[in-house]
Structure 1
Amino acid sequence: MAGSTKDSKENLHVVILPYLAFGHMIPFLHLSTSLANSGIRVSFISSPKNIQRLPSPPHHLSHLIQMVQLPLPHVDGLPLGVEASTDVTTMDQSHLKIAYDLWKQPFKHFIEHDTPDWIIHDSTPYWIADIASEFNIPHILFSVYSASVYSFFGPPEYLADPTKYWTSPERLSSSPEWITFPSSVAFPSYEAPYVLAGFFGTNGSGVRDSVRVATSLRSCKAVAIRSCKEYEGQYLDLLEKLFRKPVIPIGLLPPAVPEKRECGGGAGGEEWEATFRWLDEQKPKSVVFAGFGSECKLSKEQLAEIAHGLEHSGLPFIWTLRKPMWAVDDNDALPLGFKARTESKGKVCMGWAPQMEILAHQSIGGSLFHSGWGSIVETLQFGHTLVILPLIMDQSLNASLLVERGLAVEVERAKDGSFERENIARALRKAMVDEEGESVRVRAREMRKIFGDLNLQQDYIDGFVHYLKKGR
């Protein structure tokens, strides 16, 4: 039964190993909490700095969740103190993967001294296959991406050897032959060459990303997907055929909204209290929440177009923004005079933000974001309207499915992928206030019945826990 605990001798012990990206670590941490709630002992592995930056496990589960710090090995070219993908440029990601691969020995040492019943891991540590085989430990690949994304890339043999199918950018910009039902999931033509080179091509780590995924898929006992049948049942069914092993939807892992508002301490806390007072004064469902996460490295030109797009829309907004690497300071990140011109209409919040509390506020009605899967879950659990501007990785695939299902308004772009402020403003107004966007608003509100149904999501976790216990 969910929430119950047993004697520690009877508890399953699961080791959790995400990649060093917050878009991966956070859902792995949500999964850890859900498993601990079901009485499973969890060892969550990450580096010291990342564990300091991650939320602490709930106090009542502290006896079941062990946050294990494994120092990240030094690698030439990786700046000292860098332990997550958000801290490095796109060009330096390979150095981070090299350091991550050097974790194989420390991780193996940990497994030797505290042998778990299961290892649940990301797709990046392809070397889990060797360790799991040596110690005869069953392991599960946990995907933080949607089922439609994994379905698009096909069976493991096509990932291991791209020449079997992924031979050109054109292949990536149309639905692949194994998706036999109607589907618009594909990359736009301007992005396809970069995906072909980045995912299937060689990189500085010495192991292609597609090979990492293929190796993990081939060796694992099952694949757990952060998804549910109510949203993408056809894709989940297809994955079992493509992978030829169990594919287990574990629910959407919607983040919990803290019962008490978290505003931080000191001056920052006072600033957030003022921001929430401003939100309290706005009309219900009238404010746009804008945020592009920690992984998207916006250029100065892109950030300026987003800023002007928010301004030109005329809508009230709250924008959470992390200082870009190219900016000298917080003020340098924004166009000249932007904050002064919009101070009565919008709020720009630099650095940390209590995102779940913002999204839960009654004045928020829509979200402008990159269409990452985690952000889709967070937004639709409140039934907010989606305005999407995909930028990297899986985001374009997510976006194409959302638009196909009438769940989002996508910002129109030029053939080269660039976007302009006028199109951002137009998309925002369509999604939030224009009559032609009413069907999108209705569909988003309907999705709350799935994405915000905590009982439904718990049923999926219960099913996964049953699989783990049966498999022991």
Structure 2
Amino acid sequence: MMKNLDSNSSKLLDIAMFPWFAFGHFIPFLHLSNKLAEKGHKISFLLPKGIQPKLEQINQYPNLIQFFPLLVPHVEGLPPAAESTAGVPPRLQKYLAMAFDGTHQQVEAILSFIKPDLVFYDFGHWVPALARQLGFKSVFYGVVSTMSLSIITKKVTKEMTVEELLELPPAYPCPAVNYKSAEADRLLFKAEPFGDGLTFQERITTSMKQSDALAFRTYREIEGPFCDYLSKQHHGKSVLLTGPCLPETKTKQLEEKWVDWLSKFEPKSVVFCSFGSQSILQKDEFQELLLGFELSGLPFLVALTPPQGCTTVEEALPQGFEERVGGSGLVYGGWVPQELLLKHPSIGCFVNHCGYGTMWEFLLSDCQIVLIPEIPDQMLNTRLMVNELKVAVEVERGENKQISKEDLSQAIKLVMDEDSEIARVLKSNRAKLKETLAKGDLQEQYIDNFIQGLQDLIK
């Protein structure tokens, strides 16, 4: 049921959404769309034609949120029928960026037809010029942490030394970041071509620079200094915050199969691991992780996509693994209700990649947190959690950049040891944050203020 509009929400807005072609962008844009539609605002959502059926179930207000399908042009080098980053290796995503830019004429035709008040975008660096031409405002919407976006403002080139790569931008608000030299080559992705004539770094900075306002999916209580930093980097440009916009869980209770299995164990004793459906490990990485959970000696629930070359998780299990762990370890290859599992009293530790959406979920849980970041934005989220907020630990990687079973086991034992000073500090810091973030109307206040900011922008 739609909520009553606040007295200060005088104008119902007509908003277009045009996210980068990745589920990690489609879904946060759609969650925000739901929050805005809940207040009565109209949304036109531009996305690839083949993606629309996969998102329709997330659309809570089909009377106010209308999908406008785009035909993704074929680009040589891009896998056939690719419409998103799903199934496209990072090294080939530059071709997806070319295809994304190739929808320019379709986007222009749709926006000319719907004539919105505002268009939200992220990787479409050409959208602000188009918006000005058509007579409406453009808003850059960052769905990753503002800490990540703050780092992206730093110019990166392939000629840089490791030391230069790892040097923080001037006046950066988090001197505790301290990148590891092993991550330098991963940060170089920003210097790679990403579409026609632009590097990844140039695409993002241009998108932000040309916008009428910057919007971020965060709370000031977590990332205030980084929001201020970005505002200064962009000459005091308006910064609007939506909050994380996490969806309400439709199912309020765990299925019986999960409850029955978890109830066999003591409170806060089970280690839960989930990396999300987009993460597909190599078989040897998958097996090493499982051996790490076994080595910890604690009960565990691992929810991972089958590794490369395998159709099920069962065929990828280490030799003798099932016989050794017995009923104290469960490996599951399908989707799991992560948010509900984190709330179960038996779950005491959560091992994850530190994706941005997952980050907000675990900050609202009572679990100890162990992080294994894979891609650059996850690494930056991890720095925020480990170095700045001090609510989690990271598993160290070896010289080969792989996670060993010994290091994973050691990290789990460290946070699960009730006598450990580190474990007590992490728990205390997280409890304070949760108290702030769990205030009943915090998200609602952010959305109301956000809408007011949008209305001020178009006056």
TM-score (norm 2): 0.90
1:331 aligns with 2:323: no
Q: Indicate the residue corresponding to 1:446 in structure 2.
A: 432
Q: Which amino acid aligns with 1:85?
A: T
2:28 is matched with 27
Q: Is the 8 A contact 1:367 1:387 kept in 2?
A: yes
- CA distance 1:40–1:203, change in 2 (3 Å): closer
The 5 Å alignment of 1:253-268 reads: 253-261=245-253
Q: Distance in 2 between matches of 1:341 and 1:20?
A: 43
Match of 1:386 among 362, 366, 369: 369
Shift of 1:465: 0.4
Deviations 1:402-429 (A, max 9, x none): 1123210111222443221011011112
Q: Is the CA contact (8 Å cut-off) linking 1:367 and 1:386 kept in structure 2?
A: yes
Q: Is 1:250 aligned to residue 233 of structure 2?
A: no
Structure-2 residue corresponding to 1:319: 302
Alpha-carbon displacement from aligned partner over 1:273-293 (angstroms, at most 9, x marks no partner): 423321233333222221112
The alpha-carbon deviation at position 166 of structure 1 amounts to 8.8
Partner SS, residue 263 of structure 2: helix
Q: Deviations over 1:20-69 (max 9, x none)?
A: 2222222112111111112211122222332222362465x221112332
Q: Which of 193, 216, 220 matches 1:225?
A: 216
Cα distance in 2, alignment partners of residues 374 and 251 from structure 1: 11
Give 1:461's aligned residue.
447
Distance 1:336 1:290, change over 3 A: same
The DSSP-based 3-state class of the residue aligned with 2:332 is strand
Give the 5 Å matches for 1:283-302.
283-302=266-285
User: Where does residue 105 of structure 1 map in the other structure?
Assistant: 105
Which residue type is aligned with residue 349 of structure 1?
Y
Give the structure 2 partner of residue 414 of structure 1.
398
Alpha-carbon distance in structure 2 between the residues aligned to 1:387 and 1:312: 15
Deviation at 1:203, TM superposition (A): 4.8
1:96 and 1:454 map into 2 onto residues whose CA distance is 40
Aligned counterpart in structure 2 of residue 376 of structure 1, from 355, 359, 364? 359
1:383, 1:446 within 8 Å by CA — same for their partners in 2?
A: no
CA distance in 1: counterparts of 2:150 and 2:195, whole angstroms: 27
Pick closer, same or farther for the CA change 1:308–1:47 going to 2, 3 Å: same
Structure 2 counterpart of 1:250, one-letter code = T
| 1:95 aligns to 2:79 (yes or no) | no
Local SS of the residue matching 2:86: helix
Unaligned runs of 5+ in 2: none
Q: Residue 172 of structure 1 contacts residue 186 of structure 1 at CA under 8 Å; is this kept in 2?
A: no
Structure 2 distance, partners of 1:134, 1:322, is 45
Distance 1:409 1:423 in 2: 12
Matched residue, 2:52: 51
| Partner deviation per Cα, 1:227-263 (whole Å, 9 max, x = no partner) | 112112222222111112112222122332224458x
How do 1:159-238 residues align onto structure 2 when only pairs under 5 Å count?
159=155, 162=156, 167-179=160-172, 181=173, 183-196=175-188, 198-203=189-194, 206-238=197-229
Q: 1:206 to 1:320 in 2, by over 3 A?
A: farther
Paired residues in the alignment total 451
Residues 333 and 111 (structure 1 numbering): CA distance in 2 closer, same or farther, change over 3 Å? farther
Residues 266-311 of structure 1, C-alpha deviation per residue, up to 9 Å, x if partnerless?
xxxxxx6423321233333222221112444422332222111111
2:393 alignment partner AA: V
User: Contact 1:296–1:392 (CA<8 Å) still a contact in 2?
Assistant: no
CA distance in 1 between partners of 2:143 and 2:314 (Å): 34
For the structure 1 residues 446 and 49, does the alpha-carbon distance in structure 2 shift closer, same or farther, using more than 3 Å as the test? farther
Shift of 1:129: 2.6
The alignment partner of 2:373 has SS state of coil
Aligned-residue offset at 1:5 = 5.3
Identity of aligned residues (%): 32
Amino acid at match of 1:172: L
**Superposition TM-score, scaled by structure 1 size:** 0.88
Report if the CA contact (8 A) 1:321-1:349 is conserved: yes
User: 1:104-135 deviations in whole A, cap 9, x for unaligned?
Assistant: 2211111111111111112x221213321221
Asked if the contact 1:407/1:443 (under 8 Å) is kept, the reply is yes
1:56-71 to structure 2, matched below 5 A, reads 56-57=57-58, 59=60, 61-71=61-71
Cα separation, 2, equivalents of 1:321 and 1:217: 35
Deviation by residue 1:355-404 (Cα, 9 ceiling, x = unmatched): 22222323222210112222111111123221011111212222122112
Paired AA for residue 426 in structure 2: V
In 1, are the aligned partners of 2:12 and 2:42 still within 8 Å (CA)?
yes
Instruction: Indicate the SS of the match to 1:379.
Output: helix
Which residue does 2:335 correspond to in 1? 352
Stretch of structure 1 that moved more, 453-462 or 338-347: 338-347
CA distance in 2, matches of 1:76, 1:423: 42
Asked whether the equivalents of residues 186 and 375 of structure 2 are also in contact (C-alpha less than 8 Å), the reply is no
Name the residue aligned to 1:76: 76
Amino acid at match of 2:180: P
CA distance in 2, matches of 1:110, 1:354: 36
Indicate conservation of the 8 Å contact 2:279/2:305, yes or no: no
